[in-house]
Structure 1
Amino acid sequence: MTQHWTPRAFIYLALSIVGLVWTFTLNAWTVVEGRNYFADLFGGGPAVSSIGVDLLVVAIAGVVLIFAEARRLRMKRAWLYVVLSAVTAFAFTFPLFLAMRERKIAAREAGEG
């Protein structure tokens, strides 16, 4: 079996490395300073930054997935999920996209789309 590295696979791998290095650095900073990680979640500090980076990297990977899957499945207006995430939350738009993706897949399997 050969391994196939697509450009998208490299994007996901790069995001994985950025996520690891950046969040590890911020978490290590929390430990080195002797800060209370859970207290910092509510009071600020590197722990909050770590979670922010974590969510940002996941959101970027999710946006790549949204555009790739929308193109593959010929879903219309994929950009709308990204725009809506800026005015609502990615926690809303990404699961919404996944729901619409599942509907599209089910319709294709039923021969409707």
Structure 2
Amino acid sequence: MTRHWTPLALCYLVLALAGLVGTWVFNVMAITQMTDFIGDLIRSGPAVSSITVDLLVVALAGSVFIIVEARRLGMRRGWLYVAISGVTAFAFALPLFLAMRQRHLTRLTTAAPPRE
């Protein structure tokens, strides 16, 4: 059995883990301090609102990419990456999808040719 974890796939996986840990440190802080998470995003001034809109648009575009690319490549359950971004972070879900996409592409290119 060949290994499908290419250096690029591992790079994406490391980024996914960094996105998960990096965002959840602050999510846990917000939960333990019982802050108004959505209110903070909206009322913390124009700079925070600008970053919020920027990241929201990127997340929406990335979600469309994930679903379309997963279908194009025949990957199963592409929608699940979008769903988990709602309970984790898109900074985790997108690199995780990219890692799994890279593994899928590697698997496709290294698959044995059909026997005749």
Q: TM-score, normalised by structure 2?
A: 0.58
Secondary structure of 2:86's aligned partner: helix
The match for 2:69 is: 69
Equivalent runs, 1:76-95 vs 2, <5 Å: 76-95=76-95
In structure 1, stretches of 5+ residues that fail to align are: 1-42
The higher relative CO (CA closer than 8 Å, separation ≥ 6) is in: 2
Equivalent runs, 1:29-44 vs 2, <5 Å: 44=44
In structure 2, stretches of 5+ residues that fail to align are: 1-42
Whole-angstrom distance in 2 between the partners of 1:80 and 1:67: 9
Whole-angstrom distance in 1 between the partners of 2:67 and 2:82: 9
Q: What code does the residue aligned with 2:75 have?
A: M
The match for 1:14 is: none
Q: What code does the residue aligned with 1:74 have?
A: G
Deviating 4+ runs (over 2 angstroms): none
- CA deviation map 1:10-69 (0-9, x unaligned): xxxxxxxxxxxxxxxxxxxxxxxxxxxxxxxxx920100000000001001101110111
The match for 1:52 is: 52
Whole-angstrom distance in 1 between the partners of 2:104 and 2:72: 11
Paired-residue identity, %: 63
Q: What value does the CA root-mean-square deviation take over the aligned residues?
A: 1.7
Q: TM-score, normalised by structure 1?
A: 0.59
Provide the aligned length of Structure 1 versus Structure 2.
71
Whole-angstrom distance in 2 between the partners of 1:49 and 1:67: 27
Whole-angstrom distance in 2 between the partners of 1:67 and 1:47: 30
